[in-house]
Amino acid sequence: MKKTKTLLILGSTGSIGRQSLDVAEKQGYKVDTIAAGSNYRELELQARKLSVKSAALFDEDAAKKLKENLADTDIKVYGGESGIEEAIMSSGADTAVNAIVGLAGLKPTLSCIRSKKKLALANKETLVAGGDIVKAEAKKYGVDILPVDSEHSAIFQCLQGQPPERRLKKIILTASGGPFFGMKKKDLENVTIKQALKNPNWSMGAKITVDSASMFNKGLELIEAVRLFDVSYDMVKIVVHRESIVHSAVMYEDNAVIAQLGLPDMRIPIQYALTYPDRCESPVGELDLASLGKLTFFEPDYDTFECISICKNAIKEGGLMPAAVNSANEEANSLFREGKIKFTDIPVLIKKASELIENKSDFDADDIFSIDKSVRENVRRLV
């Protein structure tokens, strides 16, 4: 595994992006390229502070403003989807962090792989929609993909030292349960955006916070685990663990369970993805088990949080279905955040919109983008 020295950070203005910058600073990594969607003000501040070689924005107008604002520097500014690709391909970084939110991260992921950068991947939607394509490209270019998602980092850590013949029986994927834990379907009818945006343990971007409230996030993570660890979907068992201290676990055939624990702070898995196989001093405090007293575990409420089963059925069906439910959720999630639909409309819309697709088992990235377009249209038509 090559050592991380210079980073490229995609989605540097977001929650994971900023925490990655924090880890980079503490570890003394150079950051040569940063990219985001449209936040040109924050990207300018970051670009100046880090003296990056290049900065890229997906939004062309925002990129123009950034270019004007950075005119007094040597920093190269790129705009648009192709600009992000150019920035990635011309970056001299050995390692990329992909912290873009949503399917928008798929093409940049493929560019990172094709330019042979080790990939610390937070962007789970990419793996859910295009997992097989991403994995095949990574194999072709000899690129390592390291999980940043806390549960998958935990599983990855628990699998270190596995027996040569593996003997893995189960993956135990923990879930905080979100702000609506314990509620029933009828209680969810009138929950507000503000309530959905309050995660008990994690401070994250808006989209994933709403996904955590609906538990679609756990469904995505189930598929993410299938993709990353080559297991069947029925080997992944979800357990609600309110304290978010046990970040996930694995069970071997002898029923021994190995778990990874720590304080809920994303800088731990981000740092591990960058330093692996080394372990370095943490930017986060120590876990004190005695002061916690107890940890609790519950069976998920599948009737209330239907999104988990929607994802499970999607991976069971396979083909383009995981991509379809992901895109339907991206659209429904943003409509909910815009105040256009109710929280309980989310699973209904995902089911109806994805049922309409024509599934196929053999597909490429273009098929994923055309499914994305049609599923999003289906969702909007249904509203």
Contact region with Mg ion (CB under 5 A), list: 43-51, 147-155, 233-241, 281-289: 147-155
32 binds, among Mg ion, ligand NDP, none (CB under 5 to 8 A by kind): none
Please, what is the minimum distance in Å from the beta carbon of residue 246 to Mg ion?
13
Amino acid at site 343:
F
Contact region with Mg ion (CB under 5 A), list: 26-34, 59-67, 149-157, 361-369: 149-157
Please, what is the minimum distance in Å from the beta carbon of residue 265 to ligand NDP?
9
Please, what is the minimum distance in Å from the beta carbon of residue 157 to ligand NDP?
15
Q: State which residue has the least CB distance to ligand NDP.
A: 14
Q: Which tokens is 39 given?
A: 């936040």
Positions that interact with ligand NDP (CB under 6 A): 11-17, 35-39, 58, 84, 99-101, 104, 122-125, 149, 202, 204-208, 266
Please, what is the minimum distance in Å from the beta carbon of residue 90 to Mg ion?
32
Please, what is the minimum distance in Å from the beta carbon of residue 187 to ligand NDP?
26
Residue 270 three-state SS: helix
204 within 8 A of 267, measured Cβ to Cβ: no
Please, what is the minimum distance in Å from the beta carbon of residue 266 to Mg ion?
9
Q: What's 79-134 look like in SS3?
A: EHHHHHHHHHHHCCCCEEEECCCCHHHHHHHHHHHHCCCEEEECCHHHHHHHHHHH
Please, what is the minimum distance in Å from the beta carbon of residue 269 to Mg ion?
9
The strands making up 6-10's β-sheet, listed across from edge to edge, are 76-79, 54-57, 30-36, 6-10, 95-98, 118-121, 145-147
Instruction: Choose between 123 and 327: whose C-beta lies nearer to ligand NDP.
Output: 123
Question: What is the spatial distance between Cα 143 and Cα 119, in angstroms, rounded to a whole number?
Answer: 7
363 within 8 A of 370, measured Cβ to Cβ: no
168 binds, among ligand NDP, Mg ion, none (CB under 5 to 8 A by kind): none
Instruction: Choose between 251 and 314: whose C-beta lies nearer to ligand NDP.
Output: 314
Residue 19 three-state SS: helix
Contact region with Mg ion (CB under 5 A), list: 146-154, 275-283, 348-356, 371-379: 146-154
Instruction: Choose between 212 and 378: whose C-beta lies nearer to ligand NDP.
Output: 212
Query: In whole angstroms, how large is the CA radius of gyration of the chain?
Result: 20
| Residue 232 backbone dihedrals phi, psi, to 5 degrees | -80, 150
Instruction: Choose between 113 and 251: whose C-beta lies nearer to ligand NDP.
Output: 113
Beta partners for residue 171, in sequence order: 236, 250
149 binds Mg ion (CB under 5 A): yes
Instruction: Choose between 267 and 352: whose C-beta lies nearer to ligand NDP.
Output: 267
Q: Which tokens is 136 given?
A: 């095949």
Instruction: Choose between 251 and 332: whose C-beta lies nearer to ligand NDP.
Output: 332
239 within 8 A of 233, measured Cβ to Cβ: no
Please, what is the minimum distance in Å from the beta carbon of residue 365 to ligand NDP?
15
Question: What is the spatial distance between Cα 383 and Cα 343, in angstroms, rounded to a whole number?
Answer: 13
Instruction: Choose between 94 and 330: whose C-beta lies nearer to ligand NDP.
Output: 330
306 binds Mg ion (CB under 5 A): no
Kindly report the number of other CB atoms within 10 A of residue 256's CB atom. Answer: 10
Instruction: Choose between 18 and 76: whose C-beta lies nearer to Mg ion.
Output: 18
Instruction: Choose between 155 and 332: whose C-beta lies nearer to Mg ion.
Output: 155
372 binds, among ligand NDP, Mg ion, none (CB under 5 to 8 A by kind): none
Contact region with Mg ion (CB under 5 A), list: 139-147, 150-158, 331-339, 355-363: 150-158
Across 91-117, b (16+ Cβ under 10 Å) vs e yields bebbbbbbbbbbbbbbbbbbbbbebeb
Q: Which residues bind Mg ion (CB under 5 A)?
A: 149-151
